[in-house]
């Protein structure tokens, strides 16, 4: 409302003796006198003190948990514990009532599972408002980081006819009548009658389109929604999530690693410096949650220490081949404590292997490079050994891989041969191959799953709790 001040500003200034207009939602109302008011601008509440003798009894009855109110009052030093200032209310109005018998967010602890069922209201809890403010800070820091380094933000398409990962797990986009799909004489779907005149899907990555832009504008990045129709009901998977994908012309693998390390350190540092109250709250929430877990399932370090661990350490860089040797000779592997034993070169590393390298062996974030080509995508630059590609994965404590990237294969003949080996039709990718035909050059890039980053910074154990409305198998509510 006009002339109102956010609770964050009031608590930051502590200008006692000054009159303020405040708006927000009632968290609690004690003794018909003390209102804990939240407006979402901060994790902290402002205590409003109502003169119950001078306030209409019917109005007092309407001040319930969840109600929206507006108040005018004078800020004074608090007489009680728990806050340094409070607002002595001179006038108060209820803007929106909240029936206490029906409102599902009563002042008590609610399970995260329950809150997912009422995702439309969970923004009002301390936990989710804190997560969303941290999420905002991280998104802002990402744009700030790239803008300050001369990158251009490219909007890659959400509807696409290509499968950047070759994974095949894509959501199809169609306007064809599903009850009577038009068919050709051979029985296949007649996509000529569809809206786009061809088979189309929701994108799994903006990378290939970002490459097209980088090979004209040098430094670009995408930051947009991506989709995977993977039937995974786990704490690590979403069907809809956001990706940050920079692509840079004239970059090699070393440049790519430097950029990714600088980016991760800077955006996490920004969150630590600008979300101190929220992160302190989330750290304590994590401590309380983990008291219920066995020791081996608990986080390797407290939340703020984990964030400092990333910011303050130079990332260790080594090849996949070196990592395999370390893992093969490790105590957990020799004592058969890994769920996935490390025996042969060429295996796809699991989260337990990545976490061992970070948390036990090096005790710092790790960048692995030069993976076997058989377990990586077609567009990665091939090494001279014929066995490996110039890939890089960045591994963090607690979650394992957080960034995946590579130098891109800019040599047309080698790229075409690799596509043929992997069964990717060259005629469908002519637009992509044109960048190798006309003015090709070395270039590199990587992808960062935004929700994975938010999960790491907030300490949340389930990725469904770091995005406002999670999309998972069987769940597309709201």
Whether 38 and 133 share a structural domain: no
Please indicate, yes or no, whether residues 43 and 148 belong to a single structural domain of this protein: no
Q: How far apart are CA 325 and CA 163, in angstroms?
A: 34
Average pLDDT for residues 385-403, to the nearest whole number?
A: 95
Residues 29 and 160 in one domain: no
User: Alpha carbon of 270 to those of 167, 273, 307: distances in Å?
Assistant: 35, 5, 11
Give 168's pLDDT tier (boundaries 50, 70, 90): low
- Give, for 22, the enclosing helix (H) or strand (E): strand 19-30
Phi, psi of 73 (to 5 degrees): -170, 180
Query: With b meaning 16 or more CB within 10 Å and e meaning fewer, what string describes 422-457?
Result: eebeeeebeebbebbeeebebbbbbbbbbbbbbbbb
On whether both 389 and 255 belong to a single domain, the answer is yes
| Same domain as 75, residue 51 | yes
Residue where one domain finishes, among candidates 63, 84, 108: 108
Looking at the fold, whether 335 and 451 belong to one and the same domain comes out as yes
Cα–Cα distance for residue pair 159/172, rounded to 1 Å: 9
Would you state the pLDDT for residue 166? 55
Give a yes or no: residue 165 inside a domain: yes
Q: Which residues pair with 76 in a beta bridge?
A: 86
The pLDDT of residue 164 is above 70: no
What CATH number does the domain containing 424 carry? Answer: 3.30.930.10
- Residue 423 covered by a domain: yes
- Has residue 1 been placed in a domain? no
Q: Which domain holds residue 344?
A: 124-169+204-465
Q: What is the pLDDT of residue 399?
A: 87
Query: Do 266 and 328 belong to one domain?
Result: yes
Give the pLDDT confidence score for residue 79 in this predicted structure. 85
In a domain, 444, yes or no: yes
Structure tokens at 170: 């894509």
> 185 lies in a domain?
no
Q: Model pTM?
A: 0.94
Number of domains in the chain: 2
Longest alpha-carbon distance in the chain: 85
**Domain-embedded: residue 474:** no
CA 384 to chain centre: 36
Question: Quick one: 412 and 440 in the same domain?
Answer: yes
- For the record, the structure tokens of 177 come out as 């009548």
In a domain, 178, yes or no: no
262-285 burial by CB neighbour count: b if 16+ within 10 A, else e? ebbbbbbbbbbebbeebbebbbeb
Given the structure tokens 């050059």, which residue do they identify? 441
- pLDDT of 167 > 60? The answer is no
User: Is the domain of 303 the same as that of 408?
Assistant: yes
C-alpha 366/C-alpha 359 separation (Å) is 10
Mean pLDDT of the chain: 94
For the domain that residue 28 is a member of, what is the CATH number? 2.40.50.140
Is 384 in the same domain as 245?
Answer: yes
Kindly state whether residues 228 and 319 are assigned to the same domain: yes
Say yes or no: 145 and 97 in one domain: no
CA nearest neighbour of 264 among 441, 397, 407:
397
Q: Mean pLDDT, to the nearest integer, of 96-105?
A: 95
Provide the 3-class DSSP secondary structure of residue 27: strand
Under the banding of pLDDT at 50, 70 and 90, the label for residue 109 is confident
Can you tell me the distance from the alpha carbon of 201 to that of 161, in angstroms, rounded to the nearest whole number? 6
Q: Which of 234, 268, 250, 248 is nearest to 405 (CA)?
A: 248
C-alpha 323/C-alpha 331 separation (Å) is 14
Q: Is residue 258 part of a domain?
A: yes
- What are 320-361's pLDDT values in tens digits? 999 999 999 999 999 999 999 999 999 999 999 999 999 999
Q: Judging by beta carbons within 10 Å of its beta carbon (0-12, 13-18, 19+), is residue 298 exposed, middle or buried? A: middle
């Amino acid at each position: 409302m006009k002339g109102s001040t956010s609770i964050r500003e009031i608590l930051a200034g502590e200008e006692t003796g000054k009159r303020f207009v405040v708006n927000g939602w009632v968290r609690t109302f004690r003794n018909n006198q003390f209102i804990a008011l939240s407006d979402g601008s901060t994790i902290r509440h402002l205590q409003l003190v109502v003169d119950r003798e001078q306030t209409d009894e019917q109005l007092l009855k309407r001040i319930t948990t969840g109600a929206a109110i507006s108040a005018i009052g004078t800020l004074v030093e608090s007489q009680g514990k728990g806050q340094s200032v409070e607002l002595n209310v001179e006038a108060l109005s209820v803007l929106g009532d909240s029936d206490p018998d029906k409102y599902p967010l009563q002042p008590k602890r609610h399970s995260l599972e329950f809150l997912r069922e009422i995702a439309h209201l969970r923004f009002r809890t301390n936990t989710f408002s804190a997560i969303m403010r941290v999420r905002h800070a991280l998104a802002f820091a990402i744009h700030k980081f790239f803008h300050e380094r001369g990158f251009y933000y490219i909007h890659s398409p959400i509807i696409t006819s290509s499968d950047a990962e070759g994974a095949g797990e894509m959501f199809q986009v169609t306007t064809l009548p599903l009850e009577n799909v038009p068919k050709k004489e051979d029985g296949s779907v007649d996509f000529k009658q569809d809206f786009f005149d061809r088979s189309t899907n929701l994108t799994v990555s903006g990378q290939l389109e970002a490459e097209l832009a980088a090979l004209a504008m040098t430094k670009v990045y995408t930051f947009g929604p991506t989709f995977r129709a993977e039937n995974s009901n786990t704490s690590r998977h979403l069907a809809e999530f956001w990706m940050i994908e920079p692509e840079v012309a004239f970059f090699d693998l070393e440049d790519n690693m430097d950029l990714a390390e600088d980016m991760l350190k800077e955006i996490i540092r920004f969150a630590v410096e600008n979300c101190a109250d929220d992160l302190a709250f989330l750290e304590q929430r994590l401590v309380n949650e983990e008291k219920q877990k066995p020791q081996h399932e608990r986080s390797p370090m407290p939340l703020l220490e984990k964030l400092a661990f990333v910011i303050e350490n130079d990332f260790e860089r080594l090849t996949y081949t070196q990592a395999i040797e370390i893992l093969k000779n490790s105590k957990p592997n020799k004592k058969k404590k890994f769920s996935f034993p490390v025996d042969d070169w060429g295996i796809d590393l699991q989260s337990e292997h990545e976490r061992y390298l970070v948390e036990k062996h090096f005790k710092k974030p790790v960048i692995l490079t030069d993976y076997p080509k058989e377990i990586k995508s077609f567009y990665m630059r091939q090494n001279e050994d014929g066995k490996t590609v110039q890939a890089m994965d960045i591994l963090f404590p607690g979650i394992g891989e957080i960034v995946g990237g590579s130098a891109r294969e800019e040599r047309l003949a080698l790229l075409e041969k690799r596509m043929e080996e992997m069964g990717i039709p060259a005629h469908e990718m002519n637009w992509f191959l044109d960048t190798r035909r006309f003015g090709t050059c070395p270039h590199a890039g990587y992808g960062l799953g935004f929700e994975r980053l938010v999960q790491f910074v907030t300490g949340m154990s389930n990725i469904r709790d770091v995005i406002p409305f999670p999309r998972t198998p069987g769940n597309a509510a709201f």
